[in-house]
Amino acid sequence: MGVEQRLDSFWARDGLTGNWNTSNVTVNAGYLIMKLDVSAGLIANAAELATSTRYGYGTYEARLRAASTSADPAVRGVGTSGNITGFFSFVNDSETEIDHEIEGQNRTIDWMGAWQTTNRHDYGTGGTGADLSQDFHTYRWDWTPTRIDFYIDGVLKRTTTSVVPTAAAHLMFNLWPTNSTGWGGLATAGTQYMLVDYVSFSPLGSTPATDPIKIPTDDTPAGALSLTKATSGSGTLSSSDTQDWYTFTSTDLGGRATVSLTTGWNSDLEIYTPDGTTLLGSSRRSKSNADSVTLTLQANTRYYARVVWASRTPSYTLSATGAVR
């Protein structure tokens, strides 16, 4: 999947300003995390992700938890008014659009529908009777040339035959703000998180189903976790989980920075260039509980840090100081 940075913040109305922010799309422990930040002044940073490939008729499925205050899949948060959780197909200004959407102000209901241009659509609701921000549920649609069936947790909730688009479309997730007494609800300042466990697509008539679209994990640069001056990283390594990757960005001026690793037992630290393959520096102090690498960073440039297992099962903390955002 590729990160979609739209130029049009269609939700920037009703007193809201802001934009989509690619840094609000991350992966942690195998979960895709979409983050929405809304300030007290109603300045928002929203999250959106889209496949570069377009997909047509078939079965689409994702297991996700609608927006809440928790970024931890094992911990329930609090759902609030003022956002939309979306899992959908979309192309060309709704030439094709097929949606599962959950309102922040009305979290027991899933809006399910299809668009075939912005002037022709068919929408309805379904749900489980529970607050969809509290637990993971499986959302699905089966798209054929004559109908679309919508499911939650394997139970058929809605069918449309009157509006069935034909154009292949991008598979997408997003989390965006609202400030309306109608759709989505009035804005709530703070941070909300939408979590996705997996997503899959099976073309119509395929046997067996295609493999799920893989969400990269933190043992590769593609799934690197975010490291900032204000937010450290932490984890545990072992013989079955031998590396964790992090990404950090230098300040607008660049300059000297230090990345430090504190660990309970012998882990190594490596720093890589923006391509994630060229080693810039490392610290491999045998049986030490502290490693650090200091280097000069180019201005406004992304770098990678890799924490590498050496022995035992150490927990660690990773931090950055100096010319790091």
Instruction: Give per-residue pLDDT as tens, 224-272.
Output: 888 888 888 888 888 888 899 998 999 989 999 999 999 877 789 999 9
pLDDT of residue 49: 93
pLDDT of residue 29: 85
* b/e 288-304 (16+ beta carbons within 10 angstroms → b): eeebebeeebeeeebbb
pLDDT of residue 208: 47
Nearest in space to 80 (alpha carbons), one of 186, 7, 162, 226: 186
pLDDT of residue 217: 67
- For the entire predicted model, the pTM comes to 0.66
Using DSSP, state whether 55 is helix, strand or coil: strand
Contacts 24+ apart (CB under 8 A), 145-150: 145/57, 148/98, 148/114, 150/100, 150/112, 150/126
Mean pLDDT of the chain, nearest integer: 89
Using DSSP, state whether 24 is helix, strand or coil: helix
Identify the residue with better confidence: 276 or 137. 137
- The residues that bridge with 61 in the sheet, in sequence order, are 140, 200
Report whether pLDDT(210) > 50: no
Nearest in space to 26 (alpha carbons), one of 42, 12, 40, 45: 45
Q: How confident is the model at residue 5 (pLDDT cuts 50, 70, 90)?
A: very low
Distance from C-alpha of 191 to C-alpha of 181, rounded to nearest angstrom: 20
Which string of DSSP letters, residue by residue, matches 205-245? T-SSPPPPBPPP-TTSGGGPEE--SS--EEEE-BTTB-EEE
* Alpha-helical regions (H) of 235-325: none
Q: How confident is the model at residue 213 (pLDDT cuts 50, 70, 90)?
A: low
pLDDT tens by residue, 294-322: 999 999 898 999 999 887 778 889 999 99
pLDDT of residue 185: 95
